[in-house]
Amino acid sequence: MSSPVKIAVVIPAFNEQQSIATVVAAVNDISTTEVTIIPVVVNDCSKDNTKKIISGLNCIPLNLPINLGIGGAVQTGIKYAFDNGFDYAVQIDGDGQHPPQRIPDLMRELQKNNWDVVIGSRFINNEGFQSTIMRRTGIRYFQFLLKLITGETVTDPTSGMRMMNRKAMELLYEYYPDEYPEPEALIIYNRNGLKFGEMPVHMVERQGGVSSIQGFGTIYYMFKVTIAIIFTYLRK
Amino acid sequence: MGRIQFISIAVSLLFLGYVLGQIKKGRLREEYAFIWILSTFALILFSFWRNGFEVLAQAFGVIAPPNLIFTAAIFAILVYLLHLSLSASKMHAQNKTLAQEIALLKEKLDKLNPK
């Protein structure tokens, strides 16, 4: 029998003391003898009890000494996965929005299509939590921008539920955006010849914590990501 | 020599002395020291050469010499601010890499020495 496939589930956590234990338990539940699934929790210098909680959980705890933002935290987990010989790394949110039960499906979809990255999308079947009208408008704008630049259609460019193989991990090891990395990462894949695609995933509303994108942050978010997308495209 | 000329020469020299002192103590990196020494020399030069600005203003076609000073100074400040933004961005990236390395090493260390 060949050795089991190893998947690292990177869970960035910033002040997620309410939901982190549930998410980690759900990830551990789906680990089997053929597919070893290990939660890697990246505590982004949380101010609450996240650090204490994760040290008692069945997971790999990575505690950042300073707050790096979601991108820096996810990249830490990707570095861990790559350095420790994991076959795949999957990123899910620490607030319980993404169903870990779909991780084996993501892997099958990735292998079936020979992709380097697979993205879980809320908008293929329009199931589950669909976010607010404002956010969907923003998402449609990113769709348009990405289509314009890459020619590819991505229905859910801001989705944080993604699985990548070692080729993609190696690429993101070098560079991954600090803030709001999701749409920008798609351009990085595209510019470096990585193949990616989407599969439908049913998401739920966040179970704890607050979104990093609201109020004035929204304007900054749109502006920052637009600039980042254009310049990432021009870089190579 | 007018009183203001004496004051400006004295202040410029004190400033130069201070900058050189900071470099000597290793508190100011040479790349930054360069620009400060250069600006100090400009200050000293124009303290001695009182008509300097009028001559330069005429050469650039500026009617009022003080305008030339403001334009040049603001431009120099903007360039320097851009330089500082670039340094800050670079340090931000280096800082991030260091923090990530620390987190990864701490995990390895804790695995070796379980509490």
The boundaries of the domain holding residue B102 are: 64-115
Nearest to A89 by CA among A78, A102, A100: A78
Provide the ipTM: 0.84
Query: Which of A152-156, A204-208, B4-8, B46-50 has the lowest average pLDDT?
Result: A204-208
User: Exposed e or buried b for every residue in B42-62, given b needs 16+ CB within 10 A?
Assistant: ebbebbeeeeebeebbeeeeb
Q: Show the low-confidence residues of chain A (pLDDT under 70).
A: 1-2, 127-131, 205-216, 236
| Structural contact between residues A24 and A11, judged by C-beta atoms closer than 8 angstroms | yes
* Inter-CA distances, A140 with A24, A71, A153, A177, A224, Å: 32, 22, 11, 21, 16
Is A46 touching B (CB cutoff 8 A)?
no
Asked if residue B7 and residue B36 are part of one domain, the reply reads yes
The answer to whether residue B77 sits within a structural domain is yes
| Structural contact between residues B36 and B19, judged by C-beta atoms closer than 8 angstroms | yes
Is A50 touching B (CB cutoff 8 A)?
no
Q: Please tell me the predicted confidence (pLDDT) of residue A209.
A: 57
Structural domains in chain B (count): 2
Q: Please tell me the predicted confidence (pLDDT) of residue A213.
A: 59
Asked if residue B96 and residue B69 are part of one domain, the reply reads yes
% of chain B at pLDDT higher than 70: 98
* CATH code of A113's domain: 3.90.550.10
Q: Please tell me the predicted confidence (pLDDT) of residue B81.
A: 93
Asked if residue B115 and residue B70 are part of one domain, the reply reads yes
Query: Cα Rg for chain B, rounded, in angstroms?
Result: 23
Asked if residue B25 and residue B1 are part of one domain, the reply reads yes
Nearest to A101 by CA among A223, A204, A235, A210: A204
Q: Which of A11, A63, A179 to mutate to test the interface with B (most CBs of B within 10 A)?
A: A63
| Mean pLDDT of the region B49-72 | 86
- Give the residue carrying structure tokens 């820096």: A72
Which residue, B50, B72, B87, sits at the end of a domain? B50
Phi, psi of A117 (to 5 degrees): -140, 140
The answer to whether residue B56 sits within a structural domain is no
Structural domains in chain A (count): 1
| Mean pLDDT of the region B41-62 | 85
Q: Please tell me the predicted confidence (pLDDT) of residue A225.
A: 83
* Min Cα–Cα distance to chain A from B95, Å: 9
The boundaries of the domain holding residue A109 are: 5-235
Q: Please tell me the predicted confidence (pLDDT) of residue A216.
A: 67
Task: Write the single-letter amino acid at A159.
Answer: S
Query: Between A and B, how many residue pairs show a Cβ–Cβ distance under 8 A?
Result: 36
Asked if residue B106 and residue B71 are part of one domain, the reply reads yes
Chain A positions touching B103 (Cβ under 8 A) are 42, 62-65, 76
Inter-chain touch B103–A63, beta carbons under 8 Å: yes
Of A60, A61, A79, the CB nearest to B100: A79
